[in-house]
């Protein structure tokens, strides 16, 4: 098995793990972690694609590398924004009621994700 | 099977195992720890894929600062964990089936990608002369696809705006995050006094090296940001008020300079975001230095969170 | 070997430089507003917005004089290494519509987000400009990854707008919106990775020449489509939209509902019509339109069941988004490709007219909320006397949505009907007609409540602001007169047989959809109607009651189904199922292609 095959399979598996977590875990913070895992799988896939395109003395096509670097920064920003929202929700509801348990997912118009 | 292949299979298996742990472990805090470990090992995968620039970024931003962000949130949300209801088993089973199907489809698609693979590596190398930088990734980021990089700087800026917009009205204009105090004789404070000078030197080196070797503004910025955070966490420094003009200037300096250079290119040179060949290297390095500062400030403030303390004590 | 790049799309055209300021000007606004800070944000926005409008108009003029699309190579690097900006007629129309809606919203928001050193105005004006920059990038971006970054920019600008008021409910809505949007964009990104792996470029023009019917491109197309559908909130992926759009401040709702969801829709259009017109095949387009039809039914019926005006308008958006997807099977030519024509023009006109009308509707609803301190439908009786202008704006926007001549929606409907007749797909014609009736139903419902006479005056808590009403009115009138504009220089519109305004046929059509709407409103809406006078005719009322009860039962089922679909696990699994289904249909269409 070549590098590309091993890590290609690994990328696909990691991405689907992230998908599974994102779908099933009711806790928003766990969804954020799962999203990061999913994103990491997608980036790895880009890496595998770039590795296949090694040429001209460069071991990994620089264009996918640049795309992944941009993608990592965007994913980090998304994580920061999501966590800030979550902490703010925790603050406001902790102030209003004893827990943030607002019956997750019960009422489509009010439910936490 | 060569030793390298065995190593790669083991690495992939460990990465996958950490991924599974991150998803299935009941406590969120353990999951974050798992994710940080995962991030560090994925950086190794990137090295194996011969993408050292990405490896540095993944270690610094994906695993490092992202991990700090998640750990902080997990610590603050700890009791929210107990309250969550479990997703019913049938749902989980069908989600698992769907995910496995997706994984199979993806794996299949990756395995049948065309051979020889299409690549832009030769083109990127051939055009490198226009910027006289020899790191092809920096060339792609700063020249060929400068538009994406500029937009992504705006994304970071918007994330800051978004995070700040979550302040309560009374804390608006104030300092982000709680004030940290640490035992002044503790080991953390010792580290916080010792590490930043080293970190700053390393950060600047990574930035500088980025012109010709792996490294660059993101990686350098992330290192600087982590030094700043260390100082904040130990109480040696405090987060700045978000209404301060200088902090705002630093936050927009990167994208702002990008825009200015772009517009100057539009007016006096070939095109928006083109660099005159003679000035390409100094211009790009100038933008990168500014961006490093901006990135360091942005990452630090994103980690610090929404303003929580009023500007007037 | 790969075919050589087509020359036309790889050179900067003479007026191509105009595309740069369409993105750079709002971005400059973002940067300036951020630095100058609290007291100057609105000032910066008001300086930038007219400039942006002027640029959009200039692009319209320049495109008319240019032989083909405007092209601009950023940094003078030709694709595939560099990134190109391209604007055809479709982009120019969307740019102009966006500029107009942003202007109206800026006027509307004048009083809500004053120049004070507080949090909300700072965020609002910066985010408004950022949304503009992101949308413009989406409309002119020529590279799939640039579109991805722009799409994320759009999401990051839209999400904080939802939670601007900081209530726990809006925070929950924002988290849900952000997470679902992120899931969507990751799937899109996954698709781009596969496309790059297959073809070594993400440039739209180059890809359209290189793309083949292969497993990787089918999977990429399916993943990207599903991800973008999640961001567009097409049924059954609409879980995030109603709480987010109803919870945001009115000016923000107008932008979110009118413009933001059109960004991802536009990328789907680019993907299916430009990148891979031969790839989807007829079954996938039929699935897309079937989802659209379900959106129309679910969205409209749920709109009729809402107790709050803003939620009603938000569910109306769910329904109207469905319309946008009816064009796909109608654009499918015998050649096995999706092609520009009446169907595409109809769909895009629908997008433009919905952008203007829905923004106006949310603005009117926001004025009502601001004045009364609530937006409970049953407490709006007699509103027309207190707030005649707001009710008028809502009514005009509603009429424009229903598709009364000469609104943009009516022209769009006509184009789509014509395409349906040409293709012999009569069932979509039925959906179009029924959709008009359903739209009429909820518009009539709101107006009936507002127009019903009451003895007491409505208690108003807030001030009356005429500027706001005028902004909403102008936008509604815009939408209502869109059908009169000369579209043929930008979109493929065959003008020949557009029927006259006062032709008997047109009038009867309009009347029948309004009457049908009245009946539906009476049958489906949950509470005792403002049609109290009906009780005088006991016979009619009792017969009606019979129908009403059976209607309520079936509507109850629909509501329960919607409730399930609005749960996170169900919605996200549907997202994956749709991705797999699209992939399977595309593969199937190519495997069992006749001949």
Domains in chain C: boundaries: 13-140, 159-591
Does B52 map to a domain? yes
* Domains in chain A, number: 1
Most B CBs within 10 Å: which of C24, C25, C77, C158, as the mutation test of the B interface?
C77
**B175: DSSP letter:** E
Predicted pLDDT at A113: 39
Convert the pLDDT of each residue in C445-457 to its tens digit.
888 888 887 766 6
Predicted pLDDT at C1: 37
Most B CBs within 10 Å: which of C119, C121, C146, C571, as the mutation test of the B interface?
C119
Residue C357 and residue C409 in contact, taking contact as beta carbons nearer than 8 Å? yes
**Number of neighbours of residue B9 by Cβ within 10 angstroms:** 17
Mean pLDDT is lowest, of B72-81, B137-146, C331-340, for B72-81
- Bridge partners of C72, per DSSP, are C85
What's the pLDDT band for A109 if we cut at 50, 70, 90?
very low
pLDDT (average), residues B44-52: 90
pLDDT at A52 > cutoff 80: yes
Does A54 map to a domain? yes
Residue B248 and residue C34 in contact, taking contact as beta carbons nearer than 8 Å? yes
Taking the CA atoms of chain A, what radius of gyration do you get in angstroms? Answer: 19
**Number of neighbours of residue B233 by Cβ within 10 angstroms:** 19
Interface residue A42 vs chain C (CB under 8 A): yes
Interface residue A51 vs chain C (CB under 8 A): no
d(CA C302, CA C314): 10
Domain co-membership, B267 together with B124: yes
Burial C133-163 (b: 16+ CB within 10 A, else e): bbbbbbbbbbbbbbbbbbbbbbbbbbbbbbb
Does B110 map to a domain? no
pLDDT (average), residues C45-62: 93
Does B86 map to a domain? no
Domain boundary among B62, B79, B96: B79
Does B231 map to a domain? yes
Predicted pLDDT at A104: 39
Please give the residue that has the higher pLDDT: either B114 or B85.
B114
Nearest to B121 among A36, A45, A55 (CB): A55
Please give the residue that has the higher pLDDT: either C387 or C146.
C146
What's the pLDDT band for B141 if we cut at 50, 70, 90?
confident
C172–A113: do the CB atoms touch at under 8 Å?
Answer: yes
Residue given tokens 């102008």 in the structure block: C474
Most B CBs within 10 Å: which of A16, A59, A89, as the mutation test of the B interface?
A16
pLDDT at C463 > cutoff 80: no
Predicted pLDDT at C457: 66
Residue C513 and residue C440 in contact, taking contact as beta carbons nearer than 8 Å? yes
Most C CBs within 10 Å: which of B95, B161, B305, as the mutation test of the C interface?
B161
Provide CB contacts within 8 A for C82, sequence distance 6+.
B144, B145, C73, C74, C75, C76
pLDDT at A36 > cutoff 80: yes
The burial of B179, by beta-carbon neighbours within 10 Å (0-12 exposed, 13-18 middle, 19 or more buried), is given as exposed
pLDDT at C270 > cutoff 90: yes
C171–A23: do the CB atoms touch at under 8 Å?
Answer: no
d(CA B221, CA B217): 6
Q: How confident is the prediction for chain B on average, in pLDDT?
A: 83
Convert the pLDDT of each residue in C542-563 to its tens digit.
777 777 788 888 888 888 888 8
Does A79 map to a domain? yes
Q: Say how many CB pairs under 8 Å bridge A and C.
A: 119
* Domains in chain B, number: 2
d(CA C454, CA C451): 9
The pair of structure tokens assigned to B144 is: 């060929």
Q: How confident is the prediction for chain A on average, in pLDDT?
A: 82
pLDDT at C520 > cutoff 90: no
pLDDT at C63 > cutoff 80: yes
Nearest to C242 among A22, A63, A109 (CB): A109
pLDDT at A100 > cutoff 50: no
What's the pLDDT band for C312 if we cut at 50, 70, 90?
very high
What's the pLDDT band for C536 if we cut at 50, 70, 90?
low
C152 interaction partners in chain A (CB closer than 8 Å): 74, 78
Predicted pLDDT at C477: 92
Nearest to C194 among B109, B152, B275 (CB): B109
What's the pLDDT band for C39 if we cut at 50, 70, 90?
confident
pLDDT at B186 > cutoff 80: no
d(CA C200, CA A53): 9
Domain boundary among B79, B98, B130: B79
Domain co-membership, B75 together with B208: no
A1: closest CA of chain C, how far (Å): 19
C246 interaction partners in chain A (CB closer than 8 Å): 109
Nearest to B23 among A7, A10, A17 (CB): A17
pLDDT at C236 > cutoff 60: yes
pLDDT at C581 > cutoff 90: yes
Does B278 map to a domain? yes
Q: How many percent of chain C have pLDDT more than 70?
A: 91
pLDDT at B310 > cutoff 80: no
What's the pLDDT band for C540 if we cut at 50, 70, 90?
low
Predicted pLDDT at A42: 95
Interface residue C580 vs chain A (CB under 8 A): no
For residue B118, give Cα distances in angstroms to A31, C2, C200.
Answer: 35, 10, 5
Predicted pLDDT at B201: 77
Does B103 map to a domain? no
The burial of B169, by beta-carbon neighbours within 10 Å (0-12 exposed, 13-18 middle, 19 or more buried), is given as exposed
A39 interaction partners in chain C (CB closer than 8 Å): 186, 189
Most C CBs within 10 Å: which of A42, A65, A86, A106, as the mutation test of the C interface?
A42
Domain boundary among B79, B111, B139: B79
CA nearest to C574 within chain A? A23
d(CA C363, CA C472): 6
Predicted pLDDT at A101: 41
A62 interaction partners in chain B (CB closer than 8 Å): 120-121, 124, 136-137, 139-140
d(CA C397, CA C413): 16
Predicted pLDDT at A97: 46
Q: How confident is the prediction for chain C on average, in pLDDT?
A: 87
Interface residue B256 vs chain C (CB under 8 A): yes
Domain that holds residue B299: 119-309
Provide CB contacts within 8 A for C142, sequence distance 6+.
C71, C79, C83, C84, C85, C86, C203, C204, C205
Give, rounded to a whole angstrom, the gap between the first and last alpha carbons of chain A. 41
pLDDT (average), residues C487-506: 68
Does A83 map to a domain? yes
Domain co-membership, B57 together with B148: no
Convert the pLDDT of each residue in B274-299 to its tens digit.
888 778 888 888 888 888 889 989 99
Does A80 map to a domain? yes
Please give the residue that has the higher pLDDT: either C39 or C142.
C142
Does B255 map to a domain? yes
A67–C145: do the CB atoms touch at under 8 Å?
Answer: yes
d(CA C408, CA C498): 13
- Bridge partners of C308, per DSSP, are C376
B151–C137: do the CB atoms touch at under 8 Å?
Answer: yes
Chains that touch C (3 or more CB pairs under 8 A): A, B
Domain that holds residue A73: 3-96
Predicted pLDDT at B175: 84
A82–C179: do the CB atoms touch at under 8 Å?
Answer: yes
Predicted pLDDT at C498: 53
Provide CB contacts within 8 A for B218, sequence distance 6+.
A69, A72, A73, B57, B60, B61, B295
Please give the residue that has the higher pLDDT: either C67 or C256.
C256
Q: What is the ipTM of this complex?
A: 0.92
Predicted pLDDT at B81: 59
Please give the residue that has the higher pLDDT: either C495 or C34.
C34
Strand, coil or helix: C43: helix
Angle between the N-to-C axes of helices C466-481 and C89-108, in degrees from 0 to 180, rounded to the nearest 10: 160
Strand, coil or helix: B176: strand
Please give the residue that has the higher pLDDT: either B50 or B214.
B50
pLDDT at C14 > cutoff 60: yes
d(CA C560, CA C566): 10
d(CA C368, CA C386): 10
Interface residue A15 vs chain C (CB under 8 A): yes
pLDDT at C185 > cutoff 80: yes
Instruction: State the pTM of this model.
Output: 0.93
Does A27 map to a domain? yes
CA nearest to C575 within chain A? A23
- Bridge partners of A58, per DSSP, are A55
Mean pLDDT is lowest, of B46-55, B92-101, B115-124, C161-170, for B115-124
Does B87 map to a domain? no
Domain CATH for A33:
1.10.287.3510
pLDDT at B197 > cutoff 80: no
Predicted pLDDT at B84: 64
């Amino acid at each position: 098995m070549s590098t590309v095959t091993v890590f290609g399979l690994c990328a696909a598996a990691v991405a689907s793990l992230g998908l599974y977590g994102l779908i099933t875990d009711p806790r928003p913070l766990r969804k954020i972690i799962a999203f990061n895992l999913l994103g990491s799988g997608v980036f790895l896939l880009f890496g595998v694609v770039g590795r296949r395109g090694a040429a001209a003395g460069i071991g990994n096509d620089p264009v996918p590398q640049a795309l992944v670097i941009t993608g990592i920064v965007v994913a980090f920003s998304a994580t920061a924004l999501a966590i800030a929202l979550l902490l703010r929700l925790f603050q406001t509801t902790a102030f209003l009621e004893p827990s943030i348990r607002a019956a997750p997912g019960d009422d489509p118009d009010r439910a936490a994700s | 099977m060569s030793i390298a292949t065995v190593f790669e299979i083991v690495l992939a298996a460990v990465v996958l195992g950490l991924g599974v742990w991150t998803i299935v472990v009941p406590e969120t805090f353990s999951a974050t720890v798992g994710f940080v470990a995962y991030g560090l090992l994925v950086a190794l995968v990137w090295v194996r894929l011969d993408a050292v620039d990405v490896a540095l970024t993944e270690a610094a931003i994906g695993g490092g600062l992202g991990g700090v962000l998640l750990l902080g949130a997990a610590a603050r949300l700890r009791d929210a964990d107990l309250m969550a209801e479990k997703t019913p088993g049938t749902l989980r089973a069908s989600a698992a089936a769907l995910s496995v199907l997706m994984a199979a489809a993806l794996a299949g698609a990756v395995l049948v990608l065309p051979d020889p693979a299409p690549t832009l590596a030769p083109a990127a190398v051939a055009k490198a002369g226009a910027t006289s930088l020899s790191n092809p990734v920096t060339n792609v980021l700063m020249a060929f696809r400068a538009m994406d990089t500029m937009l992504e700087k705006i994304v970071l800026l918007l994330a800051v705006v978004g995070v700040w917009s979550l302040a309560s009205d009374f804390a608006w204009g104030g300092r982000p995050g709680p004030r940290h105090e640490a035992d002044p004789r503790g080991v953390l404070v010792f580290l916080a006094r010792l590490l930043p000078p080293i970190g700053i030197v390393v950060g600047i080196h990574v930035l500088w090296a980025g012109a010709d070797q792996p490294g660059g503004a993101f990686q350098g910025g992330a290192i600087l940001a982590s030094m700043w955070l260390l100082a904040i966490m130990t109480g040696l420094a405090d987060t700045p008020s978000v209404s301060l003009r200088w902090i705002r200037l630093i936050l927009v300096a990167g994208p702002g300079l990008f825009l200015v250079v772009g517009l100057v290119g539009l007016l006096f040179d070939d095109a928006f975001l083109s660099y005159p060949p003679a000035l390409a290297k100094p211009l790009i390095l100038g933008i990168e230095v500014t961006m490093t500062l901006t990135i360091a400030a942005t990452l630090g403030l994103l980690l610090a969170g929404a303003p929580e303390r009023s500007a007037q004590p | 070997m790969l075919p050589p790049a087509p020359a036309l799309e790889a050179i900067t055209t003479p007026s191509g430089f105009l595309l740069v300021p369409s993105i750079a000007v709002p971005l400059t606004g973002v940067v300036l507003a951020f630095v100058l800070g609290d007291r100057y944000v609105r000032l910066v926005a008001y300086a930038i917005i007219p400039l942006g409008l002027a640029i959009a108009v200039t692009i319209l003029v320049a495109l008319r004089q240019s032989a083909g699309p405007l092209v601009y190579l950023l940094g003078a690097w030709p694709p595939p290494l560099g990134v190109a900006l391209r604007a055809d007629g479709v982009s120019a129309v969307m740019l102009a519509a966006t500029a107009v809606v942003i202007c109206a919203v800026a006027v509307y928001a004048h009083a809500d987000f004053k120049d004070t050193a507080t949090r909300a105005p700072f965020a609002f004006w910066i985010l408004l400009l950022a949304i503009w920059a992101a949308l413009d990038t989406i409309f002119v971006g020529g590279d799939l990854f640039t579109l991805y970054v722009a799409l994320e920019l759009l999401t990051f600008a839209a999400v904080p707008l939802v939670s601007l008021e900081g209530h726990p409910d809006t925070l929950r809505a924002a988290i849900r919106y952000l997470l679902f949007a992120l899931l969507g964009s990751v799937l899109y990104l996954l698709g781009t990775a596969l496309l790059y792996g297959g073809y070594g470029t993400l440039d739209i023009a180059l890809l359209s020449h290189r793309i083949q019917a292969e497993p990787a491109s089918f999977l990429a197309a399916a993943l990207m489509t599903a991800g973008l559908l999640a961001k567009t909130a097409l049924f059954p992926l609409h879980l995030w939209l109603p709480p987010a759009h109803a919870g945001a401040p009115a000016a923000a709702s107008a932008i979110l509902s009118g413009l933001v969801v059109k960004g991802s829709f536009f990328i789907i259009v680019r993907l299916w019509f430009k990148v891979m017109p031969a790839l989807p095949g007829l079954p996938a387009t039929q699935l897309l339109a079937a989802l659209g039809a379900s959106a129309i039914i679910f969205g409209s019926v749920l709109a009729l069941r809402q107790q709050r005006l803003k939620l009603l308008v938000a569910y109306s958006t769910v329904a109207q988004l469905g319309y946008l997807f009816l064009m796909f099977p109608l654009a499918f030519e015998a050649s096995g490709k999706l092609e520009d024509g009446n169907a595409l023009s109809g769909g895009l006109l629908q997008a433009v007219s919905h952008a203007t009308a829905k923004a106006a509707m949310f603005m009117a609803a926001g004025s009502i909320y601001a004045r009364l301190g609530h937006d409970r439908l049953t407490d709006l009786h007699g509103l027309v006397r207190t707030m005649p202008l707001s009710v008028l704006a809502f009514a005009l926007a509603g009429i424009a949505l229903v598709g009364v001549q000469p609104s943009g929606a009516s022209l769009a409907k006509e184009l789509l009907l014509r395409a349906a007749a040409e293709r012999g797909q009569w069932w979509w014609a039925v959906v179009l007609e029924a959709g008009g009736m359903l739209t009429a139903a909820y518009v009539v419902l709101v107006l009936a409540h507002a127009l019903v006479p009451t003895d007491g005056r409505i208690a108003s808590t807030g001030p009356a602001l005429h500027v706001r009403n005028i902004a909403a009115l102008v936008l509604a009138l815009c939408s209502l007169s869109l059908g009169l504009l000369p579209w043929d220089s930008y979109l493929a519109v065959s003008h020949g047989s557009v029927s006259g305004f006062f032709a008997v046929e047109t009038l009867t059509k309009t009347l029948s959809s309004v009457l049908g709407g009245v009946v539906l409103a009476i049958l489906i809406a949950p509470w005792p109607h403002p049609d109290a006078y009906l009780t005088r005719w006991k016979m009619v009322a009792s017969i009606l009651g019979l129908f009403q009860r059976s209607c309520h039962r079936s509507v109850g089922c629909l509501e329960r189904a919607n409730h399930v679909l609005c749960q996170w696990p169900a919605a996200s699994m549907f997202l994956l199922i749709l991705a797999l289904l699209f992939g399977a249909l595309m593969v199937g269409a190519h495997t069992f292609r006749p001949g």
